[in-house]
Amino acid sequence: MRKYGLMKLGLAAVMLTSASAASEAADVSRGPAYPPPPPPIPFVYNWTGFYAGVHAGVGWSDGDSGGSSGFIGGGQVGFNYQINQWVLGVEGDFAGTTIKDSVNATVVGPGAVITGNAEARLDWVSTLAPRVGYAFNNWLVYGKVGGAWAHGSGTASAAINGMQVASISVDDTVSGWVFGIGAEYALWDNWTAKIEYNRMDFGNGGPFADNKFNVIKAGINYRFGGAGWHF
């Protein structure tokens, strides 16, 4: 019986040794354990730098006189500086317009027909304003408030029985303020596209009876410097 008990103990020791060796071999085959890799960081466009571009759109005045409308087109230059997801900058733009307004009048009297006509044109508009925006992925949404300038010109004439008897031409540059909101989208590398709404107010000094102007424009910008994407 004693011999049988010793055999059982020896067999148990062999089994334990074999199990330990198998466990160590399995650990060696699996190799060391490493933590899972961190999730990829989403890309964010780098808006910092100088940029320039072009834009086109429509503009209109509003008010009791019914308003005037036309096309606008021009260019813009600016600078952005990005702090985390906030983007601070300043932008100036200049655009020519086809916006104009006209009025004609005829008075019939004894032996005479008096006619008069007047036309006012908004030749160009320009703004200079700081911008504050918020960037996410490849979008930038922003607002701006700053100064606005406009140049208007006009003519007026009067005729009696078809013969011109008076004519006058005027032109003037006026100033006011602009409020704008917009969104810009990074297309690839240094190219971006934007859409923007501006509201301009020239008080009592504008070229038309309605001195508040609205502009909706779309444009494209090129940012100078390195590639726009960073990780």
- Is residue 88, in this structure, part of any structural domain at all? yes
- Is residue 18, in this structure, part of any structural domain at all? no
Looking only at the bridges linking them, the beta strands covering 212-223 and 191-201 are antiparallel
pLDDT tens digits, one per residue of 5-26: 444 444 444 454 555 555 555 5
Instruction: Please provide the average confidence, as pLDDT, over all residues in the chain.
Output: 80
Determine whether 69 is exposed, middle or buried from the number of CB atoms within 10 Å of its CB (0-12, 13-18, 19+): middle
User: Pick the residue with more confidence: 213 or 170?
Assistant: 213
Q: Note the pLDDT of residue 14.
A: 45
- Is residue 106, in this structure, part of any structural domain at all? no
- Is residue 5, in this structure, part of any structural domain at all? no
User: Pick the residue with more confidence: 119 or 18?
Assistant: 119
- Is residue 10, in this structure, part of any structural domain at all? no
pLDDT tens digits, one per residue of 121-170: 889 999 999 999 999 989 999 999 999 999 988 787 777 767 776 778 77
Span 217-227, average pLDDT: 88
Q: Note the pLDDT of residue 207.
A: 54
- Is residue 30, in this structure, part of any structural domain at all? no
State the CATH number of the domain containing residue 58: 2.40.160.20
Range of the domain at 189: 46-99+121-153+173-220
Q: Note the pLDDT of residue 145.
A: 98
Determine whether 68 is exposed, middle or buried from the number of CB atoms within 10 Å of its CB (0-12, 13-18, 19+): buried
pLDDT tens digits, one per residue of 22-58: 555 555 555 555 666 665 555 668 999 999 999 999 9
- Is residue 109, in this structure, part of any structural domain at all? no
Residues 6+ apart with CB under 8 A from 13: none
**Total number of domains in the chain:** 1
- Is residue 134, in this structure, part of any structural domain at all? yes
How many CA atoms are closer than 13 Å to the CA of 111, on its beta-carbon side? 0
Span 196-203, average pLDDT: 93
Q: Note the pLDDT of residue 208.
A: 56
